[in-house]
């Protein structure tokens, strides 16, 4: 079996924040910090949407 040296797991940036948010909420019960992590993802999504379509949703 040919094994390539470039086999590596890929993680999305958003997944790291989702994992951190869930861990914070479950382990420490700190939902404020969990919401902060979720809001980071939301802000990135809105930024990409505005950058792609403009402020009023038009290309």
At 59 the pLDDT is 47
- Is the CB of residue 22 less than 8 Å from the CB of residue 39? no
At 1 the pLDDT is 52
At 33 the pLDDT is 93
- Entry pTM: 0.62
Q: d(Cα 46, Cα 52) in Å, to the nearest integer?
A: 10
- Is the CB of residue 22 less than 8 Å from the CB of residue 35? no
């Amino acid at each position: 079996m040919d094994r390539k040296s470039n086999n590596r797991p890929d993680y999305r940036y958003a997944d790291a924040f989702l994992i951190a948010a869930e861990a914070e909420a479950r382990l420490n019960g700190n939902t404020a910090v969990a919401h902060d992590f979720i809001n980071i993802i939301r802000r990135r999504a809105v930024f990409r949407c505005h950058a792609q379509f403009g402020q009023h949703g038009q290309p």
